[in-house]
Structure 1
């Protein structure tokens, strides 16, 4: 009989050197002064975990709006961002804004759930404060009587 060993999740902030993390925290705080320094530091970690998941996923993933703000902060340092991607993932991770076909990829909540699952599978910590749309229902699947749930009663016309 084989037993599964539980793996400890890794803090993705360790993927990036301290100096660049501090720069991203500072720049994001300038743009979003309502954040605390501690939350901005955690946000950088969630953005890095998202990027790591994207590097290994064969399906599209989607950042939360706040995680996307941290990604934009990193993208502003194009050379550092490109070098990071090449060094850590062996390829450039391009930002492709736009909407994915809902029928093919699911809606926003389904994409974010897939993203969080991919981050977890990649071995990184999830900080649910950065994925708030997933905290709306106490379930692990998209059947919480949401508007797109099969359990949701049809709308009357």
Structure 2
């Protein structure tokens, strides 16, 4: 679909090197992390959010710090989200003592890995590892009442168990 092609091309064209540099500057990530791999992994995450807006997704603890750094550039992040999914994509941290939320993020992370592998020929396991529950970190919301611009073009069906 053209809407997907246009938005995927936009994601791909964005230069995330400033966000990587900010994450390193703030010690959110090590300068030894593979810059191109982590940037590509975050772009994959945004692409999945756009392709599958009716369902929530969870990011890896490896990629999450780069997402944080992107959000620090709040105006740029808000504009990026508006172009990619039609509205602001909120970050929801996992509360480790909330068992129900941990179970939800576990399901969302496993689902996100599944969708990544379906949509991309390369999913870097350094960026998207199989995580133990202790390493689960956060998610973004997805359901049929948000990201309205993308609902008609979504590639995957809504799953109430994955809606947030």
1:43 aligned residue (38, 41, 64): 38
In structure 2, C-alpha distance between the alignment counterparts of 1:45 and 1:123, rounded to whole Å: 11
Task: State yes or no: 1:116 paired with 2:113.
Answer: yes
Deviations 1:17-52 (A, max 9, x none): 45x41202212233223524xx12211211121122
Following the alignment from structure 2 to structure 1, what is the Cα–Cα distance between the partners of residues 38 and 30?
14
Gaps of 5+ in 1: 1-11, 136-157
Structure number with the bigger relative contact order (C-alpha 8 A, sep ≥ 6) is 2
Structure number with bigger Rg: 1
1:24 corresponds to? 19
Normalising to structure 2: TM-score of the pair? 0.58
RMSD after superposition: 3.1
1:111-150 correspondence to structure 2 within 5 Å: 111-123=108-120, 125-133=122-130
CA displacement at 1:14 relative to structure 2: 6.5
- Structure that is richer in strand per residue: 2
